[in-house]
Structure 1
Amino acid sequence: MKKRTLVLGASLNPTRYSNIAIKRLRSNGIETLALGVREGRVGNVTIEVEKKLFSDIDTVTLYLNPERQKEYYDYIVSLQPQRVIFNPGTENVELIKKLEDHGIKAEIACTLVLLSTRQY
């Protein structure tokens, strides 16, 4: 598997984009981890509720609005991902600057579109 990805803001609700993204990431053979407010499973992916220090994270894909992201700033940086994808509605200039200051690429995009166009 490639591009180990953390879905931040993961939801158990099958109509939420974070839930759909978990399923699509897995169906594309991408190792997927998930962090949300409720513990559970989406397919074979466990949604964690604790900020675990995962290793070898290539991508963090955000499904949290900018206000909710604030408590995760230092956590995201501590994971040292190659990139953070800001899905529609998650764009955040403050966090983008913090990431860039730490050499982490910030990408304003849609994970689902990137996957469907094979640009992920």
Structure 2
Amino acid sequence: MEKKTLVLGASLNPSRYSNIAIKRLSSYKQPTVAVGLKKGEVSGVAITNEQQDFDDVHTVTLYLNPQRQKEYYDYILSLQPERVIFNPGTENPELYDLLRKNNIEIEVACTLVMLSTNQY
């Protein structure tokens, strides 16, 4: 099943996990959009540096530390995703509470592992 995914905290640096996640999501044929600090492209996925109103986002996968997430709280909620994945280092109880109040599923997991074990 296709699950349109927003990679939030996307990087153009090939050694960053967000960059690897974009490549892996693309290889698994998952529709992918990305927001990061710098505009660019990874595996045919455009990275924007603006909080765009993407349609039909199923999953937001986070690659931002909790302090950097604060400015995206309203943005994440506005997209009305079905779930948010908190990758290692992004755990944030404050955002968990906000998401739960809005009936959004929380996964504290690694997107890369979820994809490789068919749990995505």
Cα deviation for residue 43 of structure 1 reads 1.4
Percent identity over the alignment?
66
In the TM superposition, what are the counterparts of 1:1-120 in structure 2 within 5 Å?
2-120=2-120
What is the aligned residue count?
120
Q: Residues 62-113 of structure 1: CA distance to partner in whole angstroms, max 9, x if unpaired? A: 0000000000000000000000000000000000100000010111000000
Query: What SS does structure 2 have at the residue aligned with 1:14?
Result: coil
2: CA distance between counterparts of 1:5 and 1:46? 13
2: CA distance between counterparts of 1:100 and 1:54? 21
2: CA distance between counterparts of 1:96 and 1:55? 22
5+ residue gaps, structure 2, are: none
TM-score, normalising length from structure 1?
A: 0.99
State the Cα RMSD in Å: 0.7
Cα deviation for residue 20 of structure 1 reads 0.1
5+ residue gaps, structure 1, are: none
2: CA distance between counterparts of 1:23 and 1:119? 17
TM-score, normalising length from structure 2?
A: 0.99
Read off the aligned partner of 2:96 and give its amino acid letter. I
2: CA distance between counterparts of 1:111 and 1:57? 15
Read off the aligned partner of 1:110 and give its amino acid letter. C
Cα deviation for residue 58 of structure 1 reads 0.3
